[in-house]
Amino acid sequence: MRKCDDIRGRLTLYLDNELQGDERATVEAHLSECEACAAIFARELNFLDAVRSEPLHQASPELRDKVRQIISEGRRVPAVSEKRSSAARPRRFGWVDAIAAGLLVLLLPVLMWRIVRQKETLGPSNFALMAAETHLRHVRGQLPLEMETESPQEISSWFANKVDFKVQLPNYQESSGQEKLYTLEGARLVNYQNDYAAYVAYRMKERPITLVITSGSVATPSGGEVIASKGLRFHYNAIAGLKVITWSDRGLTYALVSDLEERGQKSCIVCHEGTKDQDFIEPLKPH
């Protein structure tokens, strides 16, 4: 029996061709004489055969041509359509160009002003972008939850051995005794910077709210509009129609994503529903 346990523990390595010499021969010898282990082996082999049977994607002939050109010329080659347009016969300076030039002169001060403003406010951080993107993917049904529950405690326990930090979700709804304004839907892991981040999904009146949590050493909030409240600095960004608030607190970095009104500050109630926290949310409202 102990032999069986030992062999089964090494079946994956055997199936992945990671065993050589004596180790490989030992597994093969055992499989030839133990029906129970041979059955497990056959089941695993079937599963892996199904997964390994077909490539998932194939490059298009157009991409193949482009890559051939890159290899032979050592540089990117413009697409045929781009070449054609740039190689078109030279045009004379006509009335369309004159109007365009006039508009450019008129709009130049506005453009310059916008560029200066953009420099004053940095763009969203990669963490905020990732949070917005995962929110969108989840809403589109492309990122299913790995566990579904309305219990914050169950979510905290589920993350316990999966991420290197502690995910502790408050349960203000029960303690406040107020009307249930939102529901917790579940959680999953998402990949960020070669590490896992915790993804928690809520819903408030049919509108999804996402909370993404990672270690402060992996992501630092930056960019966007900075709003200070209760000793924390919140970075607010509007990304693809979504309101994204990122901040760091006690070694963790958070992103809260929603499509709620104004700056999406109402989404903060997923953790701060109690009346005592209203002054916490207030500064996030646009003035």
Among 41, 158, 196, 202, the residue binding another protein under the rule CB under 8 A is 196
- State yes or no: residue 136 binds another protein (CB under 8 A): yes
The contact pattern for another protein, residues 28-47, with x = CB under 8 A and - = no contact, is -------------------x
Contact yes or no for 213/253 (Cβ under 8 A)? yes
- The closest alpha carbon to 157, from 147, 170, 167, belongs to 167
Cα separation, 256 vs 249, in Å, equals 13
Cα separation, 247 vs 254, in Å, equals 5
**Phi, psi angles (nearest 5°) of residue 182:** -145, 160
Of the pair 37, 242, the CB lying nearest another protein is at 242
Return the structure tokens found at 65.
Answer: 């041509």
Return the structure tokens found at 208.
Answer: 């999804």
Q: Which stretch binds another protein (CB under 8 A): 58-66, 103-111, 211-219, 268-276?
A: 58-66
# of chain residues touching another protein (CB under 8 A): 51
Note the helical H segments in the chain. 2-15, 21-33, 35-52, 61-73, 80-86, 95-120, 126-139, 152-159, 172-176, 278-281
Of the pair 47, 113, the CB lying nearest another protein is at 47
Of the pair 154, 195, the CB lying nearest another protein is at 195
What number of other Cβ atoms are within 10 A of residue 203's Cβ? 13
- State yes or no: residue 81 binds another protein (CB under 8 A): no
- Residues 225-244 touching another protein, rule: CB under 8 A, are 239-240
- State yes or no: residue 60 binds another protein (CB under 8 A): yes
- Residues 6-25 touching another protein, rule: CB under 8 A, are 12-13, 16-18
- State yes or no: residue 54 binds another protein (CB under 8 A): yes
- Three-class DSSP category at 270: helix
Q: Which stretch binds another protein (CB under 8 A): 3-11, 127-135, 175-183, 213-221?
A: 127-135
- The closest alpha carbon to 263, from 233, 231, 232, 287, belongs to 287
Q: List residues near another protein by CB under 8 A.
A: 12-13, 16-18, 47-48, 50-61, 63-64, 66-68, 70-72, 74-76, 123-124, 126, 129, 132-133, 136-137, 140, 142, 144, 146, 188-191, 194, 196, 223, 239-240
